[in-house]
Amino acid sequence: MLLRIDLQDGFEGDTVVVKINNKELYRKKGVKTQLTLGYADSLETEVPEGQNTVEIELPEKNIFESISLNVSSPVYLGLSVSDGRIAARQSKEFFAYL
């Protein structure tokens, strides 16, 4: 199944690490939100149906979040940083940025 992760609001030139089911799939320095869009970056991968775990870390800010997803159809996951935490928003549809 498709899993698309969009890094959205609150990224300020951060190093971002994303692991899915304990496998690192994304590591990038300087991730910054485009304020007019509310979008910083994205990644897509295939995951098995059923329970999956997404971990996101901003190591320089000591921010970490683990998110459990029960996948039965394509999943779109929006991640934002706010007040020193990572907020997740799950959708069955692609996020649109204008």
Tell me: pLDDT of 98 over 90: no
| Confidence (pLDDT) at 41 | 98
Query: Cα–Cα distances in Å, from 94 out to 3, 23, 54, 64?
Result: 11, 24, 18, 24
pLDDT in tens, 15-52: 999 999 999 999 999 999 999 999 999 999 999 999 99
What is the per-residue pLDDT for 97?
A: 84
- According to the model, what pLDDT value does residue 95 have? 94
Tell me whether strands 75-82 and 2-7 are parallel, antiparallel or unpaired. Answer: parallel
Domains of the chain, first to last: 2-73+81-91 (2.60.40)
Mean pLDDT of 75-81: 98
Cα–Cα nearest to 3, from 96, 95, 90, 76? 76
Q: How far apart are the C-alpha atoms of 40 and 34, rounded to whole Å? A: 6
